Amino acid sequence: MTTPAHSAVSRNLLILHFTVFIWGFTGILGALISVGPVAMVWYRVMIASITLLIYFKATKFSIRVSRKEFLQFFFTGSIVALHWILFFQAIKVSTVSVTLVCLSSFTLFTAILEPIIKKTAVQLSDIFIGIVIILGIYLIFHFESSYTAGIIFGLSAAVASSLFSIINSNFAQKSDAKVISFYELSGAFFWITIYRLFDQSLLSESFNLSVPDWIYLMILGTVCTALAYIAGVSVMRTLSAFRVALISNLEPVYGIILAFLFFGHKETMSAGFYLGSALILGAVFLYPVYKKRRNKS
């Protein structure tokens, strides 16, 4: 007989898979939207911030924080903005598949940066996983040299993602994740707006949108950012961090499958690319499994 607790876990597993699937769809939208990465992210964070604010008002959820917390979240938003701009730039100059695989190197950069930032010892297992991922990146560089710029932007996006995730892991110990997200998204919107004021070409580009662009941007800002984030946070009440991390690693897999469905031949790569991708994704999947077993022992 199925217990209420078991039903809740099963339901949240489906929600998490759907959320990760939506994250994978983000890359598709990045390729479909015609405006540049800066304008795209500007709209994304603006729409997501407004959506979250409406959610907070509807649920009467308090977003009050101290001045220190506000400034910390707000400035971290600049790193979030940089991550998304680099991510979409990588898609524009290469392919969705290349970008998502490079973004998977997030695990490598976290293994390098976290001990430095938190002043902890580097684990031998982290070094081994890092070597495997570096080998995978080398194979992709070697066999897909025509996408060198996209690979560099994708890896840079992974560095930025790793950096703000490590910072957020400290923030999450004291503040609600939804509140952190709202102020960081608002901060991202503020910093991109400041940047755009110094580049008139970005201003003209941002307000010259087609109807499909508006539709894709609304989906990107609401479903793929604000709503997906709220869903992702809600499942953590019943699912372990290990299970969330493992399923979240499916994002590039879902994204690459979607890219094949949407763009077909453009997403076809060399055998070397798939070998490098297999090494990276394999390392990323096995890493949390090894971590869990090591913690148990």
Tell me the domain boundaries of the chain: 12-295
Give the chain's mean pLDDT. Answer: 84
- 213-231 pLDDT tens trace: 999 999 999 999 888 877 8
* pLDDT confidence of residue 230: 78
- Residue 94 DSSP symbol: S
The predicted pLDDT at position 44 comes to 93
Its sign, for the CA torsion 41, 98, 164, 56, is positive
- In which band, very low, low, confident or very high, does the pLDDT at 157 lie, cut at 50, 70 and 90? very high
Give the DSSP letter string of 208-233.
---HHHHHHHHHHHIIIIIIHHHHHH
CA angle in degrees (0–180, nearest 5) for 51-28-134: 110
Q: What would the mean pLDDT of 250-264 be, rounded to a whole number?
A: 86
Tokens of 166: 């490590």
Lowest mean pLDDT, pick from 84-93, 207-216, 230-239: 230-239
Would the pLDDT of 205 be above 70? no
Local confidence band at 297 (pLDDT 50, 70, 90 cut-offs): low
pTM of the model: 0.86
